[in-house]
Amino acid sequence: MKSSETRIAIVTDSAADIPAALAQEHAIQVIPAILVVDGQSLPDGQGLSREAFYNRMPSMTQPPTTASPSPEAFVAAYRAALQSGAATVLSIHVSGRLSGIAQIAQRVAGAFDGQVQVIDSSQVSLGAGFQVLAAARAAAQGRPLAEVLSTIESVRRRVRVVAMIDDLEYLRRSGRVNWLRTGLGVLLHIRLLVDLADGAVRRLGQVRSRTKAVEALVEKALSWGELDQLGVLHASAIDDAKALAARLASKVRSLSQPVVVDVTTVIGTHVGPRSLGLVGVLAESVAPGGSRRP
């Protein structure tokens, strides 16, 4: 058993898309981001279900927006972790180029005399979530801080994210992607393929039909080679997500099945309903710089 002198606590935000059961199993504190609907601020996951949100989204006259958690939410999470006996808190958050969450966490951490270390995952959704889960597993095994940090870095180096945006209007409204031309998706009725590089959204291509977009996602995932983990993301498109998980399950060489996640509303606000995504963690033998396994 780990002593309270060495225990490492893990904190993240809800945009990491870690399913509640997994967060509870691994003792991960999740700070909810804020969804703003019709002027009302709702902590992510409270007051409005994901299903209800996506059903309402196309008819909303005032587009929903999102906000970072308050500094007080981080203070409460860090205090709770330290008071429970942790010597160190690792606070791992979605890309600072897409959200202000990590910046707020960093400011708050400064008041905790070095006991809190903030990490920008350079990713979003399970791209961040898989890093958080790896950190929690390593911490639970009693690994020293340096090893836990190395584990996080290893997953970050190997994680890949690709997504299909079904309706570009939502992404355009969000203002988070400065290269997106106004009205592009509305005029051409295209599906946009994107990935994340250095913490920012990058355009991969576009197709006219949803069927071709799904096939492009599969092709991209197949190009990754063997995977240690796979996440399938969807915004109210569960049937498509399950079909993708079934098609790609054989790519995961561990015994774990793909994790299917209905993305949090604070991500869905920006990508819109019916979008799909894949998050893969490359097997170390195929990742750049990874050691070849026998």
Q: Are residues 187 and 104 in the same domain?
A: no
Q: Are residues 114 and 36 in the same domain?
A: yes
Tens of pLDDT, residues 108-147: 999 999 999 999 999 999 999 999 999 999 999 999 999 9
Q: pTM higher than 0.75 for the full model?
A: yes
Query: Is there a domain that residue 130 lies in?
Result: yes
Query: Is there a domain that residue 288 lies in?
Result: no
Q: Are residues 266 and 214 in the same domain?
A: yes
Q: Are residues 235 and 153 in the same domain?
A: no
Return the half-sphere exposure (C-beta side, CA atoms, 13 A cut-off) of residue 252: 21
Return the half-sphere exposure (C-beta side, CA atoms, 13 A cut-off) of residue 170: 26
Q: Are residues 82 and 166 in the same domain?
A: no
- State the Cα–Cα distance between residues 287 and 227, nearest whole angstrom: 9
| In the chain, beta strands by DSSP E | 8-13, 28-31, 34-37, 40-43, 65-67, 88-93, 116-120, 159-165, 191-197, 200-207, 227-234, 259-262, 276-282
Tens of pLDDT, residues 206-262: 888 999 999 999 999 999 999 999 999 999 999 999 999 999 999 998 767 899 999
Number of independent structural domains in the chain: 2
Q: What is the mean pLDDT of the segment spanning 85-109?
A: 96
Exposed (0-12), middle (13-18) or buried (19+): which is 3, by Cβ within 10 Å? exposed
- State the Cα–Cα distance between residues 233 and 70, nearest whole angstrom: 27
157, 178, 195: which is the final residue of a domain? 157
3-state SS assignment for residue 138: helix
Query: Is there a domain that residue 3 lies in?
Result: no
Q: Are residues 32 and 54 in the same domain?
A: yes
Q: What is the mean pLDDT of the segment spanning 154-167?
A: 95
105, 124, 157: which is the final residue of a domain? 157
Query: Is there a domain that residue 2 lies in?
Result: no
Tens of pLDDT, residues 34-69: 999 988 999 998 988 888 898 888 888 888 999 999
Q: Are residues 198 and 241 in the same domain?
A: yes
Return the half-sphere exposure (C-beta side, CA atoms, 13 A cut-off) of residue 85: 7
If you average pLDDT over every residue of the chain, what do you get?
A: 89
Q: Taking 70 as the threshold, does the pLDDT of residue 177 lie above it?
A: no
Q: Taking 90 as the threshold, does the pLDDT of residue 283 lie above it?
A: yes
CB 216 within 8 A of CB 205: yes
Tell me the CA distances in angstroms from 30 to 9, 12, 13, 57, 89, one per residue in order.
Answer: 12, 5, 5, 25, 13
What is the CATH classification number for the domain harbouring 178?
A: 3.30.1180.10
Q: How confident is the model at residue 1 (pLDDT cuts 50, 70, 90)?
A: very low
**What is the domain range of residue 73?**
8-157
- State the Cα–Cα distance between residues 105 and 95, nearest whole angstrom: 12
CB 130 within 8 A of CB 228: no
Q: Are residues 124 and 198 in the same domain?
A: no
For position 182, what pLDDT does the model report?
Answer: 46
- State the Cα–Cα distance between residues 106 and 184, nearest whole angstrom: 36
Q: Are residues 132 and 173 in the same domain?
A: no
Q: Are residues 19 and 133 in the same domain?
A: yes
Q: Are residues 75 and 196 in the same domain?
A: no
Query: Is there a domain that residue 110 lies in?
Result: yes
Query: Is there a domain that residue 289 lies in?
Result: no
What is the CATH classification number for the domain harbouring 85?
A: 3.40.50.10170
- State the Cα–Cα distance between residues 270 and 265, nearest whole angstrom: 9
For position 37, what pLDDT does the model report?
Answer: 92
Q: For residue 109, which of 66, 77, 152, 149 has the smallest C-alpha distance? A: 77
Q: What is the mean pLDDT of the segment spanning 175-200?
A: 67
Query: Is there a domain that residue 125 lies in?
Result: yes
Q: How confident is the model at residue 286 (pLDDT cuts 50, 70, 90)?
A: low
Q: Are residues 75 and 121 in the same domain?
A: yes
> Is 174 or 266 the better-scoring residue by pLDDT?
266
Q: Taking 90 as the threshold, does the pLDDT of residue 90 lie above it?
A: yes
Q: Taking 80 as the threshold, does the pLDDT of residue 169 lie above it?
A: no
CB 247 within 8 A of CB 265: no
Q: Which residues of 164-195 are buried (b: 16+ CB within 10 A; e: fewer)?
A: bbbbbbbbbebebbeebeeeebeeeebbbbbb
> Is 13 or 49 the better-scoring residue by pLDDT?
13
- State the Cα–Cα distance between residues 133 and 30, nearest whole angstrom: 12
- State the Cα–Cα distance between residues 260 and 234, nearest whole angstrom: 8
135, 157, 179: which is the final residue of a domain? 157
For position 176, what pLDDT does the model report?
Answer: 52
Q: Taking 50 as the threshold, does the pLDDT of residue 294 lie above it?
A: no
For position 185, what pLDDT does the model report?
Answer: 46
